[in-house]
């Protein structure tokens, strides 16, 4: 690992003045097991992944640790994976790792971020008897929510994704869509009501 870290830092120093490599070439480096892949990934998507992790964890130190884990996860998963949308692939890895880390920190009773509010909002849609911890049920639930988002009008879909995937704050959503914070809150509440209805139709909610 020390050797890998050293190689990454050395490569970074040589690439500072160059334009970020395109995603297809970066993925190819992973497939070639070229350690420069991690350096290129960090250079191009480091701030992007730190932003995602930071929204969930609320701590720059925890976010940085999370993103370091993401680089290792990318190295371990490519190959066999060859993501066609590398940016989204990294976003998913980062979000999943950050949520796991958030749960670890919450169990240890330290650290919280925007995730507290977001998970609280979604909790009202998931109350009931369903055992969402079951791996099969959890997979079906993810598919259901994905279909729900795909079926929303474009504006509502973007708002839903910004809030519940990227964990944008209400203030950020209001600024992004040029509406008041109250209107943003009301719109998200209506979207959650639709989600709750969809989950009931699919058998996830009594």
Whether 206 maps to a domain, the answer reads no
Low-confidence ranges of the chain (pLDDT < 50): 1-8, 10-11, 13-16, 110-111, 128-133
Closest CA to 86 of 53, 41, 126: 41
Boundary (domain end) residue, out of 56, 77, 112: 112
Question: Cβ distance 86 to 48 under 8 Å?
Answer: no
Burial code (b: 16+ CB inside 10 Å, e: under 16) for 178-200 equals eeeeeebeebbeebbeebbebbe
Full domain range(s) for residue 190: 116-201
Residue-wise DSSP of 122-165: HHTTS-SS--TTSHHHHHHHHHHHHHHHHHS-HHHHHHHHHHHT
Between CA 86 and CA 91, with CA 87 as vertex, the angle to 5 degrees is 115
Whether 108 maps to a domain, the answer reads yes
Boundary (domain end) residue, out of 48, 80, 112: 112
Distance (Å, rounded) from C-alpha 145 to C-alpha 139? 10
Q: Are residues 19 and 42 in the same domain?
A: yes
Q: What is residue 176's predicted lDDT score, i.e. its pLDDT? A: 92
CB half-sphere exposure, 28, CA atoms < 13 A: 5
Q: Are residues 13 and 56 in the same domain?
A: yes
Q: What is residue 118's predicted lDDT score, i.e. its pLDDT? A: 73
Number of structural domains found in the chain: 2
- Greatest alpha-carbon span in the chain: 58
Distance (Å, rounded) from C-alpha 51 to C-alpha 48? 5
3-state percent breakdown (helix, strand, coil) of the chain, nearest 5: 75, 0, 25
Q: Are residues 120 and 108 in the same domain?
A: no
pTM: 0.60
Q: Are residues 121 and 34 in the same domain?
A: no
Contacts of 101 (CB under 8 A, 6+ apart): 53, 56, 57, 62, 65, 66, 69
Q: Are residues 94 and 127 in the same domain?
A: no
Q: Are residues 95 and 128 in the same domain?
A: no
CATH number of domain containing 190: 1.10.10.10
Q: Are residues 69 and 142 in the same domain?
A: no
Q: Are residues 161 and 95 in the same domain?
A: no
Backbone angles phi, psi at 176, to 5 degrees: -60, -40
Q: Which secondary structure element, helix H or strand E, spans residue 186, and what is its range?
A: helix 181-201
């Amino acid at each position: 690992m020390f050797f890998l870290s050293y190689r990454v830092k050395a490569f970074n120093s040589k690439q500072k003045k160059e334009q970020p490599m395109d995603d297809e070439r970066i993925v190819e480096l992973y497939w070639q097991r070229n350690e420069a892949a991690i350096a290129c990934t960090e250079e191009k998507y480091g701030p992007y992944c730190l932003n995602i992790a930071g929204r969930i964890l609320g701590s720059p130190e925890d976010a940085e640790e999370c993103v370091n884990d993401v680089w290792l996860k990318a190295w371990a998963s490519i190959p066999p994976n060859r993501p066609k949308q590398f940016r989204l692939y990294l976003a998913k890895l980062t979000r999943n790792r950050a949520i796991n880390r958030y749960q670890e920190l919450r169990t240890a009773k330290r650290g919280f971020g925007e995730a507290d509010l977001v998970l609280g909002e979604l909790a009202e849609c998931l109350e009931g008897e369903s055992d969402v911890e079951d791996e099969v049920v959890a997979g079906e639930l993810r598919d259901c929510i994905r279909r729900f988002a795909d079926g929303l009008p474009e504006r509502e879909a973007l708002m839903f994704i910004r809030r519940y995937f990227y964990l944008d704050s209400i203030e950020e959503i209001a600024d992004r869509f040029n509406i008041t914070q109250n209107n943003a809150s009301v719109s998200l509440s209506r979207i959650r009501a639709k989600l709750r209805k969809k989950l009931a139709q699919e058998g996830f909610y009594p």
